[in-house]
Amino acid sequence: MSSETIVTAILLIAAVVAAGILTSVLFPAIYTMSGTVSSSTHAADQSMREAITIVNTYANESNYAQVWVKNTGTTQISLANLNATDIWVNNVMLPRNSLSSYGWTYDIPGNTNSNWDPMETLHITIWSNQIPTNSGGDVQFQMALYDGTTSSEQFTVS
C-alpha cells in the first residue's frame, strides 16, 4: 500500500514536471506565432486600405507620356502624401514638377478637396528623355506611394 502511494506520488511529480516543460516550450512558440499573425493582418489591412491600379497609359514620340492611376483602396491619400510619391521611368527616378528637361506633374480631374479620394483617377504627365522617341519603344513605368504601395506597367510608344 505504501509502495502504491510512492508510485502515485512519483507519477504525479513527473506529470507536473512534464506539464511545466511543455508549457515552457509552447508559450514562446504561441507568442511568436501571434506576433506573425498580427503583422500579417496589419499588412493585409494596409494593402486593402491603400491600393492603386494603373488604368491607362499613353506615350507619343516626343518624350512625353501620360498615365492614369485609380485609387482602388478605401482611404483618402492627402495631396501632401501624394507629393511624396516616387515615379520611375525605365528605372530612372524622376523629380516631381521639375523645371528641368525631365520630371512629372499630376492632376485629379473633378477633385473638390485636398485629397486623392477612393475611386478617383490621378492623371500623371511625364516628360523625360528616358521615353523613347521611336514608335514601338518600350516604357517601364513604376509608381510608389509614400508608404511603399507600388504599381507598375510596361507600355509601348505609339
- Dihedral over alpha carbons 62, 125, 99, 132 (to 10 degrees): -30
**Which pLDDT does position 14 carry in this prediction?**
83
**Amino acid, single-letter form, for residue 92:** V
Tell me the C-alpha distance between 120 and 115, whole Å: 10
The mean predicted confidence, pLDDT, of the chain is 85
pLDDT at 113 > cutoff 70? yes
Per-residue pLDDT of 23-76, as tens digits, reads 887 777 777 776 676 666 666 666 567 899 999 999 988 889 999 999 999 989
**Which pLDDT does position 46 carry in this prediction?**
62
pTM comes to 0.71
pLDDT at 3 > cutoff 90? no
Q: CA 145 from chain center: how many Å?
A: 8
- Residue 147 and residue 128 in contact, taking contact as beta carbons nearer than 8 Å: no
pLDDT at 83 > cutoff 70? yes
- Residue 124 and residue 104 in contact, taking contact as beta carbons nearer than 8 Å: yes
119 vs 34 pLDDT, higher one: 119
Tell me the C-alpha distance between 116 and 90, whole Å: 26
Q: In Å, what is the CA distance from 20 to each residue of 7, 14, 16, 36, 60?
A: 20, 10, 6, 25, 71
**Per-residue b/e over 105-118, b at no fewer than 16 CB within 10 Å?**
ebebeeeeeebbeb
**Which pLDDT does position 55 carry in this prediction?**
96
- C-alpha distance across the termini of the chain, in Å: 97
**Which pLDDT does position 42 carry in this prediction?**
61
